[in-house]
Amino acid sequence: MKRQSISLLMILVLLATLFAGCASSGKPAPASSAAPASSQAPAPASPAEPAAQPASSAPAEPTHKELTVYSAMPDGEIPTYFNAFQEDTGIKINYVRLSAGEMMARIAAEKDNPQASIMHGGSSDTYIAAMKEGLLEPYQSSELANVPEQYKDAEGVWNPIYVGAISFACNSEWFKEHNLEYPKSWEDLTKPELKGQISMAHPSTSGTSYTVLATIIQLHGEEKAWEYLSRLNANVRQYTKAGAAPPMEVGLGEAAVAITFSHDALKPAMEGYPVELSFPEEGTGFEVGAVALIKNGFPEEQENAKLFIDWCMSVRGQELYIDSASNRLPVNINANYADGLVSLDQLPIIDYDAVWAGSNKSRLVEEFGQKIDNAANLKQ
């Protein structure tokens, strides 16, 4: 009886051990048998629940935040325009300041490998010549809807940004001292009392002076114009590179008269120099200042370049002519301009043919060099 009880007890113990082993098989594997956490790739996000993106209500910024510009605007004006553009858009402008003639020559030399995206400032004559040589890319701003037809490019390539007429900037103190009247005609500039007292830029480097040359030819015809320019040359003290330099020479008393655009002539006058304006009675030419895309400019800058053109033609861009004290007349009919400026409809403006002037620029500049002055000794 005792042996049977022991045997029964051993059977019960054995059964309890077996049941415990079966229950333990559902537990997790020991930590020592698991793969290290760093070796496991995270599970991909479910297509129905994409990973959350940071929320933003700000407009997309330009992917490229720079723009390269060749500008013929005066050194003193450029920062006003370019700094304001950067403030408005976040786009930094890298620029080289050149006279209009130098600007075109540089773009032509770089035709196969352009180093800028924008041609800025200078007369439309220069842009027409550049267009003829295949240096510009067509782009027309939507702001042209606010510009009078006579200032627009019929070919749809460049965009107008200001206008100005050719004038005579006169040093009032010099004329008072010599008891002389201001010149009232082109012929007056050839009088012997003005010998060595005329300052003007050279048409090979200056858009201003090329407009002067084209104006005289359109007034008199080529044969008479070359004869007149030969007589005028006898009174020119020295040719300069830039069209904005002669009025400052007059302001400083280095010359009695400068042939220049009225907005450039007014600048030293507003700064307190003894400069007053006169306009030729028989008629004067005018410029339409322009801006355009350079053909094959930097691809990453193209959207910025178009934005810059739109901005230059906007009311915001046009009214900066007041802030820069440039005395330029805006082309946008909605833009305000500085008090005291003389509009073109108040002047004896000729029917200036900018297309003819631009198309004949290379030939006429070459003839000027051969017949009048070869640009061997230009003053900065």
Mean pLDDT of the region 157-162: 98
Taking a C-beta distance cutoff of 8 angstroms, is the pair 197, 320 a contact? no
pLDDT in tens, 37-60: 333 333 333 333 333 333 334 445
Distance from the first to the final alpha carbon of the chain = 133
Tell me: pLDDT of 34 over 60.
no
DSSP 284: B
Query: Quick one: pLDDT at residue 376?
Result: 82
pLDDT in tens, 172-199: 999 999 999 999 999 999 999 999 999 9
| Distance from C-alpha of 321 to C-alpha of 154, rounded to nearest angstrom | 25
| Distance from C-alpha of 309 to C-alpha of 327, rounded to nearest angstrom | 20
What are the DSSP calls for 219-274, one per residue? HH-HHHHHHHHHHHHTTEEEEESSTTHHHHHHHTTS-SEEEEEHHHHHHHHHTT-S
Tell me: pLDDT of 313 over 80.
yes
Smallest CA-to-CA distance from 202 within 335, 320, 372, 20 is with: 372
Q: 258: Cβ–Cβ under 8 A, 6 or more apart, which residues?
A: 168, 169, 198, 199, 200, 246, 247, 249, 250, 265
Q: Which two tokens stand for residue 218?
A: 């359109």
* Interstrand relation of 118-123 and 136-137 (parallel, antiparallel or unpaired): unpaired
Taking a C-beta distance cutoff of 8 angstroms, is the pair 323, 81 a contact? no
Mean pLDDT of the region 193-221: 96
pLDDT more than 90, % of the chain? 79
Query: Quick one: pLDDT at residue 155?
Result: 96
Query: Quick one: pLDDT at residue 342?
Result: 85
Higher local confidence (pLDDT), 21 or 290: 290
pLDDT in tens, 320-351: 999 999 999 999 999 999 988 988 989 999 99
Question: pTM here?
Answer: 0.78
Report which secondary-structure segment, H or E, holds 161: strand 159-171
| Distance from C-alpha of 256 to C-alpha of 371, rounded to nearest angstrom | 25
CA angle 157, 286, 180 (to 5 degrees): 160
Higher local confidence (pLDDT), 15 or 138: 138
Tell me: pLDDT of 127 over 70.
yes
Query: Quick one: pLDDT at residue 375?
Result: 85
Query: Quick one: pLDDT at residue 97?
Result: 97
- How would you classify residue 196: left for phi > 0, otherwise alpha for psi between -120 and 50, otherwise beta? left
Buried b (16+ CB within 10 A) or exposed e, 116-127: bbbbbbbbbbbb
* 118 beta partners: 69, 293
R_g of the chain, CA atoms, integer Å: 37
Query: Quick one: pLDDT at residue 380?
Result: 67
Q: How many residues does the chain have?
A: 380
Q: Mind listing the domains of the chain with CATH numbers?
A: 66-161+288-342 (3.40.190.10), 164-285 (3.40.190.10)
| Distance from C-alpha of 104 to C-alpha of 135, rounded to nearest angstrom | 9
Tell me: pLDDT of 35 over 50.
no
Q: 207: Cβ–Cβ under 8 A, 6 or more apart, which residues?
A: 72, 99, 100, 101, 122, 123, 125, 126, 243, 287
Query: Quick one: pLDDT at residue 60?
Result: 55
